[in-house]
Chain A
Amino acid sequence: MPDYTNYTKQEMQAFAIAKNIQANQIVIVGTGLPLIGASLAKRIICPSCHPIVESGLMDCDPVEVPRSVGDNRFMAHCAVQWPNVRFIGFEANEWLHGEDRLIAFIGGAQIDPFGNVNSTCIGDYHHPKTRFTGSGGANGIATYCNTVIMMQHQKRRFIDQIDYVTSCGWMDGPGGRERAGLPGNRGPQMVVTDLGIMKFDEDTKRMYLAYYYPFSTPEMVQENTGFEIDVSRAQLMEGPDPEIIRIIREEIDPGQAFIKVPREK
């Protein structure tokens, strides 16, 4: 009998994602961990959610884990195959209609205390030390939708000044989005990392530690954050049951495309 109690940091992150998806939410996912989390939600934690991807594939329920948002694995098992522009229109109309049904997962290389995210470049934009893909669908998603940001928790990634704002968070604090011409009633809701879950203070819009994991501590979070972070409100989030881990390893990602199973000792 395989050991399902030895969950990894990534599995904890996927579990944290799944726990934060609510009934009937329309969930914008990419590939990787957010997809594993959404698949977990769809299967057992919150089956009424509707995963969609920016290529325009709506209500996806893939059998095998897709590698890209345009993958045949999404396309063959969804409700509607829209072109990308229709997805963009849907996203915008959800906001225009005052609907609050969308939640989106985005990732990045750098993040600041207000949840502004960089996925374009490290260093000068014209002469970068490292160039990434750039926006993809992230800028539009961060404009119109509430987001959950997925990050690796490292000091060099959590910094006061990011090199490029690809996806807008709360900008420079309260009222920042409105001043920038962005919908003020949308923005980052939380940051899920391998060390914990950060939320944003309602008054200051600054990131604070809301939850740490059984294998992390508030001190570890501060040590790995490049700016002052309030950890006074932090609570422990319990780890996943072995059954959750079994489902991730045996049913959702058996090929270990995104989550590596630890070797038996």
Chain B
Amino acid sequence: MGKVCTLSEAVARYVKSGDTICFGGFTTNRKPYAAVYEILRQGQKDFTAWGGPAGGDWDMMIGEGRVKAYINCYTANSGYTNVSRRFRAAIEEGKLTFEDYSQDVLMLQLHAASLGLPFLPVRLMNGSGLTEHWGISREEREKIDSVDNDKFVYVDNPFNPGEKVIAVPVPKLDCAVIHVQKASPDGTCIIEGDEFHDVDIAVAAKRTIVTCEELVSDEFIRRDPTLTRIFGMCVDAVVHAPHGAWPAQCYGYYDVDSKAMTEYDKASKYQDANDAKRQLAKAAEKAQKAAEKAPGDARAAEMAAKAAAAAKGAEDGTAVPETFQDFLNKWVYGVKTHEEMLDKVGASHLISTKNVPGLGYAGKIPERTC
């Protein structure tokens, strides 16, 4: 059976509920969003997620309740949302089973998985909250098959007796999903720019889905093997998905869609309309109290009036702000395919995110002043 298929076929075949899964990319760079949206549409859930340097990808999965355990080190659309909001709300409301590692350790764990190591000794996390606190307790861990029973174990360095090092488990990935610049039908991939942990997870996972900006022939991709990064035999499905990292950036191709990132930043403040009502009512109450405390403060009074109007608009339904749910209905559930979504984003807008050769991002060429 050939590997080239549609996004819907790839996700249906290779992403299963209950998977231990990892996405490629780095916060707002080369995130496999097209596949993430397709997973959301198809409904797979109960993931044990190795977040890595995550952003909106895992924030959406968490907001949609698809995550059984979140092994994380950083979740932010850096520069737009400093702490991903559905991730943050889920932890603050006690709704997410999560574990914290440092990014160094988590990336080394993924690398160790690609090397097939049994466990990984590190000199990291010593003395910090990362060793003092377990996000998932031993008792809980024993109940979750996909999570190791220990977050870490202190071991003696066998080659330097007396040196205490930290042994961490190595993830057993069922599935990896990555987005690359070029792939060919046999699965060979070219990644331009930083590979991040993408090559590691493609090797480590039992099943790997690749979406690509350009699908090129097997002959073309191996014209210069110094550029290829992933051996085709590590890949199960190849999907042609131009702009498949939207609204994240993709080196050599396009920049972050600032408009969409800003939209998500605002929308993801509220889970849904009821949450918006609740939060805005609370904010109005707080602003009102502040204004009462400072009589004669015109600015405080103005803020209170603004907050009251926002709360009223949400309450009576005349001005409900866009919510996380609305964002997904608009860009994910409201379209059937990636192509339909691209039509909705619009050709001229997508073109405005194109990278300028030489600069490496979408922007104005600095003018030389003489």
Contacts and interface: CB of A to CB of B under 8 A. Distances in A.
Given A75-B251, A84-B197, A164-B133, A135 B123 contact: no
Contact of A131 (B27, B92, B129, B256): B92
A136 B129 contact: no
Contacts of B78: 31, 67-70
A135 B256 contact: no
Contacts of B197: 83-85
Contacts of A127: 92, 94
Contacts, number: 182
A56 B45 CA distance: 32
A125 B28 contact: no
Interface stretch (B95-103, B215-223, B325-333, B338-346): B95-103
A65 to B, nearest CB: 9
Give the dominant DSSP class at A's interface: loop
B301 interface: no
B55 to A, nearest CB: 9
Q: Bin chain A's interface residue count.
A: 35 or more
Give the dominant DSSP class at B's interface: loop
Interface in A91-138: 91-92, 118, 120-121, 125-138
Interface residues of B, number: 59
Contacts of B108: 85, 88
Contacts of B352: none
A81 B88 contact: no
Contacts of B53: 55, 70, 84, 136
A83 B199 contact: yes
Interface string B13-36: 000000000000011110000000
Interface stretch (A4-12, A165-173, A202-210, A233-241): A165-173
Contacts of A165: 127-129, 132
B104 A88 contact: yes
A177 B361 CA distance: 42
B317 interface: no
Interface of A: 31, 54-57, 63-64, 66-73, 75-77, 81-85, 88, 91-92, 118, 120-121, 125-140, 143, 164-168, 171, 177, 180-182, 257
Given A83-B200, A131-B87, A137-B103, 11 more contacts: A71-B361, A83-B194, A85-B107, A85-B111, A133-B82, A136-B53, A143-B123, A164-B129, A165-B127, A180-B126, A181-B123
25 contacts: A67-B78, A70-B29, A71-B79, A72-B355, A83-B195, A84-B53, A85-B107, A118-B129, A125-B135, A130-B88, A131-B88, A132-B83, A134-B73, A134-B74, A134-B100, A137-B103, A137-B104, A139-B124, A139-B128, A140-B102, A165-B127, A165-B129, A167-B128, A168-B128, A181-B164
